[in-house]
Amino acid sequence: MCVGEKIKQYLKENNITQTELSIDTRIPLPKLNLSLSGKRILKLEEYEIICGVLGVNVDKFLAPRLPERKSNANHKNVS
């Protein structure tokens, strides 16, 4: 689930409409809707504003991502 979808779920669980969030954050509703639907990448500044308005920490909707590891078979031993 992407960040936007997590925010959308949080709004639903807390009876907050996208229109209310748009007004409070001053993020235009079409832009907010696209972001929460995963059709637009949410800018960091917008994300920070949304978290501030919702009164949650910025890590609320984030999950750590680690780089993929390459298998050892693909590495050559250099001596």
Q: How far apart are CA 33 and CA 57, in angstroms?
A: 21
**What confidence tens digit (pLDDT) does each residue in 6-56 have?**
999 999 999 999 999 999 999 999 999 999 999 999 999 999 999 999 999
Neighbours of 35 (CB within 10 A): 23
Confidence of residue 64 (pLDDT cuts 50, 70, 90): confident
Q: Give the class (CATH, top level) of 3-54.
A: mainly alpha
* Domain extents in the chain: 3-54
Q: How far apart are CA 55 and CA 63, in angstroms?
A: 18
Task: Return the closest-CA partner of residue 2 out of 50, 40, 58.
Answer: 40
How far from the centroid of its chain's Cα atoms is residue 78's Cα? 42
